Chain A
Amino acid sequence: MLKKLALASAALTASISLAFAGDLENKSWDEIVAQAKEEGQVAWYVWYLRDDLRNAVKPFEEEYGIKVTIPEGTNQGNQDKLLAERDREEGDIDVMALGYDAMASKDMEALFMDLSGYLPKDDDRVGSLVGIDPKGRALAFWGNQTGIAYDPAKVDASALPQTPTEFAEFWASNPGKFGFNFEKGGSGPSFHSNVMRNLSDVDFSSPDSSPEKLAKLKPGIEFFNEHGENYVITASNADSIIRVSDGELWMVPAWEDHLAGLQKRGEVRSDIKFYIPAMGMSGGGNGVSIPNNARNKAAALVFINWLTSADTQSAFNRDFGTAPMHGKADDSYALVSNDQRAHRVDPAKDPFYKELKDHFIENVILNR
Chain B
Amino acid sequence: MTWRRWLQVILLLTPGLGLIVALIGTVVYIAIVQSFGLYNLTGESLLSAEHWAGVLERRAYGRAVRYSLYIGILSALFSVALAYPLALWLRKPFTGSVAVGAILKAPLLVHGLVAAFLFINVIAYHGVLNQFMQWIGLWEGPRRLQNDSNAIGVLILQTWKNMPFALLILTGAVQGISDDVLDAARDLGAGSMARFRKVIAPLTISAMQAALVIIFIGAVADFSFQVIAGPTNRQSMAQLMVFYKDGGRWHDAAVVGVSLMVVALVGSALLAFAARFILSGRRFR
Contact = CB atoms under 8 A, between A and B. Distances in A.
B228 interface: yes
Contact of B246 (A76, A233, A236): A76
B243 A183 contact: yes
B186 interface: no
Given A76-B245, A183-B243, A246-B125, A366 B42 contact: no
B232 A176 contact: no
A293 to B, nearest CB: 17
A83 B41 contact: yes
Given A233-B233, A234-B232, A246-B126, A366 B246 contact: no
B142 A361 contact: no
Contacts of B245: 76
A105 interface: yes
B42 A361 contact: no
B59 A368 contact: no
A248 B247 contact: no
A366 B232 contact: no
A232 B144 contact: yes
Name A's interface SS: mixed
B233 A248 contact: no
Contact of B42 (A83, A232, A236): A83
A184 interface: yes
Contact of B126 (A105, A233, A247, A361): A247
Interface centre among B60, B227, B232 (most CB of A within 10 A): B232
Nearest to A105: B248
A243 interface: yes
B111 interface: no
A29 B12 CA distance: 64
Contact of A366 (B146, B147, B227, B233): B233
B41 A247 contact: no
Given A83-B41, A235-B228, A248 B63 contact: no
Nearest to B62: A366
A218 interface: no
A123 interface: no
B147 A365 contact: no
B22 to A, nearest CB: 21
B248 A362 contact: no
A357 B164 CA distance: 40
Nearest to B230: A235
Contacts of B63: 366
Interface string A351-367: 00010011001100110
A354 B41 CA distance: 18
A184 B59 contact: no
B117 to A, nearest CB: 11
B234 interface: yes
B125 A247 contact: yes
Interface string A236-249: 10000001001110
Interface string A155-184: 000000000000000000000100001111
A361 B249 CA distance: 16
Contacts of B142: 248
Interface in B95-153: 124-126, 142, 144, 146-147, 149
Contacts of A358: 58, 60
A182 B246 CA distance: 14
Contact of A235 (B60, B227, B234, B247): B227
Contact of B247 (A176, A243, A354): A354
Interface string A327-366: 0000000000000000000000000001001100110011
14 contacts: A176-B144, A182-B232, A184-B227, A233-B233, A234-B232, A235-B147, A246-B124, A246-B126, A357-B247, A358-B60, A365-B232, A365-B234, A366-B60, A366-B234
Interface of B: 41-42, 58-60, 63, 124-126, 142, 144, 146-147, 149, 227-228, 232-234, 243, 245-249
